[in-house]
Chain A
Amino acid sequence: MQRARISLSGACARIHTNGTFYGWASVALTGVALYVTSRTSGVPLFAKPLAWASLVLYNVAAIVGTVTLGLGLNNGDQEYREWIWWAAMPLLVAIVLSGISVFGTVVRRSEREMYLSNWYFIVGFVSTAILEVVSALPYYQHGLGQVAVQGFYMHNSLGMWFTFLALGTAYYVLPKLLNRPIYSYSLGILGVWTNLLFYPVIGAHHFEFSPLPWWFQTLAIVFSVGMLIPVWAGSGNFLLTLRGGWEAVRRSPSLPFLVVGIAYYFLGSTQGTVEALRTSQAYWHFTNFTVGHSHATMYGFITFIAWGAAYALLPRATGKPASALATGMHFWLALVGVTMYVLALSAAGTAQGLAWVAGNPFISSVESAGPFWVARAVAGLMMFASHVLFAYNVYRMTLARHTPAAVASALTREVAAV
């Protein structure tokens, strides 16, 4: 009997990346954006039914996308856009609908100035809607042409979507929790424009030494160096806002997540610039180093910011606190886990690259990475355990019943933190 079965390893890679991108980070950060625009604009959310429809469509896309990938149906091995078109379409509509809600709320705001976070949200939603449409059109994507579009898509889905939403989130939550203004509004605006101008150009650095035009790759590397401007402006701005506020960080359940997010934004993005240089790519391209880097950014930066926002804003919205013990365990398991994960894969990648440059037989690069993969498995288990604790805490902050005394004591703790 011929068994119809799909390789678990191939399907898992795709389900993991698309699931974390569009099933987790996109939904979480869109939720934060909807909350923040309404709060900072001083008006109720514009077109609330559209936001609800967006939530439904995000989940439809995540379920359909995951199931179809598991069945071996995919859009080719195009990283981060493997979902077949009828799973990707609900995602696009979800982004557009919640974008309309975000934009309409800002347009109808009662404040005269548009708060910094809303700059990031508007540019993020507008660019991502354009990106998703452009990259979904198939007519100009054949052979090497598709490689060019893939490099463009792969990095823009990170930079124009997650980076903009996460920075907009941090620009709201950080000053809110510290109860002080952001250090520099201008540095924040500089970040908006430089991200918008530099980010779209750097995609080809995923295909260095490929047959893509050499000048096109060089341009991508130059702009990758340019990315230091928004990264250092942003992370410097956050750190200067935090200056002297470390006592509050120590007491607060949510600020530590934001601090880690900011630190990984700085480290991971600066690493990305160094990694884009041709000399680095000659050693690290195709190795696990890249996978370590993507976890430093998508997990260390984006996911920690989303967690910080959830722990900060959900209790304010529902009046229900999270479990302090579970929050602390979540934080340490996730932080130690991701740090160990990134270090293990960076070491594995370096070992692989050195084995190739030395001209050893290919299998020696697999063997040299082996011990580090054991460390990665341990780190991955810690990260997974932290997610279970987060799920429990989300339950505590939303559906669970609390006694008034517990709510009062948690509120005291939150206020005392500042």
Chain B
Amino acid sequence: MRSAWLLAGLSAAIYATLAFATGVWPGEALSKVAPTPGLRPLTPEQEAGRAAYVSEGCSYCHTQYVRPLAEDQVFGRPSVAGDYVYSTPELLGTERNGPDLTNVGLRQPSAVWNYIHLYEPRALVSQSIMPSYRWMFVLRDHALPGDLVVPVPPPYAPPHGVVVAGPQARALVAYLESLKQQPLGPVRRR
């Protein structure tokens, strides 16, 4: 081929066509799926927790998609398209240095566990490699009215004073508790 214009035009046409067929069109079609029955939009506090989840980069180590494989059964039922209707930006993830969190609100319903775990993961799972998120907590001499005191066990508890969950920690735990799969109805046979 001797014409650079022809090469540029032809490759632009081919690439634009393929980009539409394998990027834009699936994106558009799958953006319009109906929500799984029972799925609710997030509350403002859960939404704030989700923003913290995104900002901290939790999804680089935790996935939010359950595969139709035997090894994934511990995490819940296989995910379906309708589960993600209120999930933008998407947080499916590509790595599991930590467990999948699709259904963590059902699997780990204890808020106290979640607070201690965010403050110091090794207080609960000694081999954990998860970073601690202590800056989401406040250290006070005495709890004030309305404070959510976190009972951090020794040796991770501060020498004096109490650990109080900050607004970011409360929002994040609210979001984690919202992660519950809705049961699917009986499978219709075609």
| A residues whose Cβ falls under 8 Å from a Cβ of B | 1-11, 13-14, 72-79, 103, 106-107, 109, 112-114, 118-119, 122-123, 126-127, 130-131, 134-135, 140-150, 152-153, 156, 160, 196-197, 200-201, 203-204, 206-207, 209-213, 216, 282, 285-288, 290-291, 352, 356-357, 359, 362-363, 365-367
Q: Which of A114, A145, A282 has the most CB of B within 10 A?
A: A145
Q: A122-B8, A197-B14, A366-B129 are in contact. Are A144 and B90 (CB under 8 A)?
A: yes
Count, chain B residues at interface, CB 8 A: 71
* Interface residue B86 (Cβ < 8 Å from any Cβ of A): yes
What residues of B have a CB within 8 angstroms of the CB of A8 in the complex?
Answer: 131
Closest to A143 in B: B84
What residues of B have a CB within 8 angstroms of the CB of A123 in the complex?
Answer: 7, 11, 15
Closest to A363 in B: B127
Q: A144-B33, A145-B32 are in contact. Are A13 and B60 (CB under 8 A)?
A: yes
**Contact indicator B57/A14 (Cβ below 8 Å):** yes
Nearest-Cβ distance from residue B39 to partner chain A, whole angstroms: 11
Contact for B54 among A13, A74, A131, CB less than 8 A: A74
Q: Which 3 A-B pairs have the closest CB atoms?
A: A10-B57, A76-B89, A145-B31
Q: A210-B65, A291-B95, A363-B127 are in contact. Are A152 and B57 (CB under 8 A)?
A: no
What residues of A have a CB within 8 angstroms of the CB of B142 in the complex?
Answer: none
What residues of A have a CB within 8 angstroms of the CB of B78 in the complex?
Answer: 211
Q: How would residues 24 to 43 of chain B score, 1 for a CB under 8 Å from any chain A CB and 0 otherwise? A: 10111111110000000000
Give the complex CA separation of A356 and B19 in angstroms.
35
**Contact indicator B11/A77 (Cβ below 8 Å):** no
What residues of A have a CB within 8 angstroms of the CB of B74 in the complex?
Answer: 359, 362
Give the complex CA separation of A280 and B166 in angstroms.
43
- A sample of 5 cross-chain residue pairs with beta-carbon separation below 8 angstroms, ordered by A number, consists of A106-B4, A135-B23, A144-B84, A146-B31, A282-B69
| B residues whose Cβ falls under 8 Å from a Cβ of A | 1-2, 4-5, 7-8, 11-12, 14-16, 18-19, 22-24, 26-33, 54-60, 63, 65, 67-71, 74, 78-81, 83-99, 125, 127-129, 131, 133, 135, 138, 166-168
Contact for A72 among B1, B8, B32, B56, CB less than 8 A: B56
Closest to A7 in B: B56
Closest to A78 in B: B89
Closest to B87 in A: A143
Closest to B3 in A: A114
**Contact indicator A146/B89 (Cβ below 8 Å):** yes
Q: A145-B28, A210-B65 are in contact. Are A150 and B90 (CB under 8 A)?
A: yes
What residues of B have a CB within 8 angstroms of the CB of A212 in the complex?
Answer: 26, 30
What residues of B have a CB within 8 angstroms of the CB of A213 in the complex?
Answer: 26
Give the complex CA separation of A286 and B31 in angstroms.
24
Further pairs besides A7-B57, A287-B96: 18, Cβ < 8 Å: A7-B56, A9-B131, A10-B58, A77-B57, A103-B8, A109-B4, A114-B4, A114-B7, A118-B4, A119-B7, A140-B31, A143-B33, A145-B26, A146-B88, A152-B27, A211-B78, A211-B80, A356-B71
Chain A binding surface SS class = helix
Number of A-B contacts (CB under 8 A): 220
Closest to A3 in B: B135
Nearest-Cβ distance from residue B148 to partner chain A, whole angstroms: 14
**Contact indicator B28/A140 (Cβ below 8 Å):** yes
What residues of B have a CB within 8 angstroms of the CB of A216 in the complex?
Answer: 26
What residues of A have a CB within 8 angstroms of the CB of B60 in the complex?
Answer: 9-10, 13-14, 77
Q: A143-B31, A362-B99 are in contact. Are A200 and B19 (CB under 8 A)?
A: yes
Give the complex CA separation of A209 and B54 in angstroms.
23
**Contact indicator A149/B96 (Cβ below 8 Å):** no
Closest to A210 in B: B65
Give the complex CA separation of A207 and B30 in angstroms.
14
**Contact indicator B30/A13 (Cβ below 8 Å):** no
Nearest-Cβ distance from residue A84 to partner chain B, whole angstroms: 12
**Contact indicator B4/A152 (Cβ below 8 Å):** no
Give the complex CA separation of A352 and B125 in angstroms.
18
Closest to A109 in B: B4
**Contact indicator B7/A113 (Cβ below 8 Å):** no
What residues of B have a CB within 8 angstroms of the CB of A107 in the complex?
Answer: 4-5
**Contact indicator B138/A2 (Cβ below 8 Å):** yes
Give the complex CA separation of A3 and B11 in angstroms.
51
Give the complex CA separation of A149 and B92 in angstroms.
13
**Contact indicator B57/A13 (Cβ below 8 Å):** yes
**Contact indicator B15/A148 (Cβ below 8 Å):** no
Nearest-Cβ distance from residue A47 to partner chain B, whole angstroms: 15
Give the complex CA separation of A291 and B55 in angstroms.
22
Q: A113-B2, A356-B71 are in contact. Are A160 and B129 (CB under 8 A)?
A: no
